Amino acid sequence: MPEAAVLESGGGAQWHFRTDPSNTKASTRDDLNNLGRYRGLLVVSPSDASADEMIAGDLKTAEDFGANVVEVVTAVKG
C-alpha cells in the first residue's frame, strides 16, 4: 500500500493543505496546520485531556480537512 499513499499524496486525491504548514518560530499551536502534516489529518492532545480541551488550531485543521474531503468527494461523484 505505500504506492497508493504516494499516488494519493502526489495527486491530492484525499488531502492537500490549502495553506502552508504553520510551523515557523512565530507560529502557535492555535494556527492552522501547526504540526505541518501534508498527508492526512494530524492532531495532538495530552492523554488525560478531555475533548473540550482540544487545541483550537487542531480543531481548525480538522474542519479544513473535512471541508476538503467534501470538496473532493463532490468533484469525484459529480
Q: Residue 46 — φ and ψ, nearest 5°?
A: -60, 145
Distances in Å between the Cα of 31 and the Cα atoms of 14, 16, 19, 25, 70 are: 22, 17, 11, 12, 22
In tens, the pLDDT along 1-25 reads 555 555 555 544 444 556 666 778 8
Our CA dihedral for 39, 42, 18, 78, rounded to 10 degrees, sits at: 70
- Do the beta carbons of residue 36 and residue 21 sit within 8 Å? yes
Q: pLDDT tens-digit profile of 36-68? A: 776 778 888 889 999 899 999 899 888 988 888
What pLDDT score was predicted for residue 8? 53
